[in-house]
Amino acid sequence: MNKDIKRIGVLTGGGDCPGINAVIRAVTKTAMNDYGWECYGIRDGFLGLIENRIEPLAWDQCSNILTMGGTILGTSNKANPSRFAVGKDKNGEPIWKDVREQAMQHYREHDLDAVVVIGGDGTMSCAATMIEMGGRFVGVPKTIDNDIMSTDLTFGFQTAVEIATDALDRVHTTAASHHRIILVELMGRNAGWLTLHAGIASGSDVILIPEIPYSVDKICEKCYDRKLHGKHFTIIAISEGAKPEGGVQTIKRRISDSPDAIRLGGVAHVLRDELEELTHIESRAVVLGHVQRGGSPCADDRVLATRLGHAAIELLANKQYNELVVMQNAQLSHVPIDSVANQQRLVKPDDELVTVARSVGTCMGD
């Protein structure tokens, strides 16, 4: 047993997603049951480390949470210790400050020997800057976007695909009944994995992802071709980060005090208006939004989250610090956290799933 470890912290950063509590459960119960370590919960991600909101986690607190959505620890997607908004200047612009030493002081005050960070690329980027300050961390990859480098799969993704697929399935009947084009806008930021998987699973006629800029004319051709062959409706799965050829992504709003200020959204409404005007086919847009993040994780995500949480503790037990647990070729492995920081795993235009989609007649917008 690693005698350097007696007490660990756990934090969950970034957007919530199904399966976080399953990881918390696996991390804490493995640490307590197998190694006798004390566990402390850090509230609201790195914000809790910055503001010293750290408290003991008991076995009972981490029981009966496997199936719960969200995170019992809370989360934040604004708290980057190396670039933290501490107020606003006279022009209303954020004042940024490096508060990593403050966060490390709280880390030391609570005698934490290491922290398990559960999050996406932003959370791992924050962890990488804290490693520079002397902290010991182990990462667990969490995101419905499935866009963390070096891992084939993140927990939360499979549940989000199920939710998105169900939504796409459900609009088929109303689209067919009313002879409409229906666009369903899905999350994913700059990565199209969620839209690609859900689009294929639902048999969507058009799949639009950020990595392949779309031509409105090509989409119109697909709608006309379907109508010519007796299909008087079209289902379009579109990622929030999709953009037209030569164009830019649709920005819903900007949040000035967030390190990642841009929030995408609304492209389905923009494209709906264009398609309706050009095709004269009645069109509707559905933005699925945060429904994709909520609710109980599917069985596969519960199993994956439990495996990842257990693997994180095993890394600490073996003194393998500052590593991210990853899934590669269906096997658990690990890579340095700093090797995935400030990066996103994107869909390649020649990815096997893109080829498969094209082969079954799906329009990819190009």
Catalytic site positions: 145
Contacting residues for 237 by C-beta, under 8 A, at least 6 apart: 164, 168, 184, 186, 195, 198, 199, 202, 204, 206, 207, 208
Tell me if 126 sits within 8 A of 46, measured CB to CB. yes
| 124 sits in which H/E element | helix 121-131
Identity of residue 308: L
Distance of CA 296 to the CA centre of its chain: 16
Q: Which residues contact 229 (CB under 8 A, 6 or more apart)?
A: none
Q: Which residue has the tokens 């920081």?
A: 341
CA atoms within 13 A of residue 19's CA, in its CB half-sphere: 30
Crossing angle of helices 299-317 and 20-35, rounded to 10°: 40
| Tokens standing for residue 88 | 């606003």
